[in-house]
Structure 1
Amino acid sequence: MDPLPTPQTQSGRDGLAALLARPRTALIGLDFDGTLAPIVADPEQARAHPDAVPALAALAPKIASVAVITGRPPEVAVRYGGFAGVPGLEHLTVLGHYGAERWDAATGTVTAPPPHPGVAAARAELPRLLERAGAAEGTWIEEKGRALAVHTRRAADPQGAYQSLRAPLADLAARHGLIVEPGRLVLELRPPGMDKGVALLDHARAVGAGCVVYAGDDLGDLPAFDAVDTLRADGVPGLLVCSGSTEVTELAKRADLVVDGPEGVVGLLRALAAQLG
C-alpha cells in the first residue's frame, strides 16, 4: 500500500487533516498533462498513467467532487484519460479550456459558450508567423478549439525556439485580444479570463467544498494555486501538490507537497483512498 506522504508546510498539513476528517466535503482538482498523464513529445499521444483511473475510481465515491482542470478540450481529456463509463467516476467533472467548457460523467455531455473570435484570426496567421520567425521546422501547432498552442519540444533547439517565439506570439495575441500562457516548452494563445484558478474557485463554490486539494505541474497551474490560497483566506483548508519535474520549478517552490510526477500523484490518490477506507 502506498504510504500517505506528510506535507512540508503547516497549511498543507492542515489541508490534509481536513480532508481526512471531513472527506465528504473535499474537492480534489487535478491538472491532466504532467499530472495525471506523463509529458510526451507529441501531445496527441498523451494518455493518463495506467493506474490513474483505478485510483480515481477508488477515491471519488468517498469525497464531494473530483475535477480534472485542463487547457485541453474536455472531450479530448476524457478520451485520453479513459474517464467515460467508469464505475466510481459517475460524478467526475472535466473542466476543459480552463473551465470554459465542462463535461460531466453523469450525463456524458459538454456544455460551452461561443468561442472567442480572436482564436480563429490568430489561427489563420500563425503558420506564416512561424515561417517568418524561422521556427517552422520542429515546432508543432496544437489545435485546442478555443485556444492554440505552439510546442517547441521537437525543435532542434527547443529552448531557443521557445524564447525566440515569445515576443512575436505575444504581439499576435495582443492584436486579437488574446493572451499568451507559457508552459513546459509550449506557448498557448487563449482568451483572457480563462484560467485554472477561476475554474477551481467557481467549482469549489458550486459544490460547497469544505477543503480543497489541487495538483499540477506547470506554470498554467499557478492560478489554481492562487485560488487555493484565496480559499484558505476564506477559512477553507487546502493542500497544494506539485507533480514534480526538472523543467518547471516554480510550482515546487509554492507547493505544500512535491511528488514524483504522475506516478507520485497516482500514489497519493491511492493512499488517500486507502486511508479513507
Structure 2
Amino acid sequence: MPNTIYIEYNFEISPLQPAADILIAELGEVGFESFVEHETGIQAYIQKGEWREDILSEVTILGNPQFKFDYDVKELEQENWNATWERNFQPIRVGDQCEVRAPFHEKSKVAYDIVIEPKMSFGTGHHETTHMMLQFILAHEFKGKCVLDMGCGTGVLAILAELKGAASVDAIDIDNWCYLNAKENIERNDCKNIKVFEGDATLLEGQKYDVIIANINRNILLSDIPVYSKCLTENGQLFLSGFYKEDIPLITEKCNENGLRIEKNLEKNNWVAVKYVF
C-alpha cells in the first residue's frame, strides 16, 4: 500500500481545557482522523484528499474568545506519522487488569495484555472515551457472548472482548485505514473469533448481538441507535461513547424511543460512556 499523505495541524491552546477536548470533537466532525495530545495543545491529522483550505471555518471553538489558539500546518507522509506516534505513544493501564501497549514496549504482568499499532486509526486507550469503554468491558461478563464493535478503529475494544471470552465479535469501521489497521492488530494479538468489515450500519441488517459497543460521534449514534436496537437480543447490552455529559439526555431519549433504558454511565473530563439495556 503506498504511503498516504496527511495534513498535520499543530494547535497550541490556552487555556488547554476544556478547549482541547471540544476542538478534537469538532475536528472529528469535519474529517480529521487522528489526534496526538501534548502538554500545550494537540496535533490533528486529516488525509490530504479530504482536506480543503477553508476546513477550519466549521470549527466554532476556534472563534471562542475565552481561548487562544495558534497553529501551523504541514504535509506528513505515513512513514513520518509512524515516527510521531512512536515518539508520543506510552503504554496505558486500565485498572490493574489491562494494559494497552505498542509492539516496542515490554510486556507487563496483567491479565489482559493488548498490543496495538495505531497508525492513523482512533483508539489506543489514551483518549477518555476508549479508556472508559475498556473499563466497561473489564467490568462485564463477555464469556460466550456475540459482540459487535461498531466504529472499531484500531480494534482494541474487539480484542479485549475476545480476551474476556466472547464467542464471536464483528468489528466494523467505515474508514479503509481503520479496517486494515484493525485486521493487523487482531492478527498481532492472535485473536481467532473476530471478523472485520469495512462499512457502516447498513451491514447490520438481519444480525443479532448480545452486546453492542459503539464509540462514535454523537450524530452518528443518534442515526444508528434504531438499527442497534433491532440487532440486540433479549436483555442485550449497548455501550455507547464518543460524546459529552450534556449529550446524555439526547442520546437517552433516542434509546428510550427504541426500547432501551439507561443503567450506568462513566465520566472522564466531561466525556462519557453509557450503558443501556434492552
TM-score by length of structure 2 reads: 0.35
Structure with more helix by fraction: 1
**Bigger relative contact order, structure 1 or 2 (CA pairs below 8 A, ≥6 apart):** 1
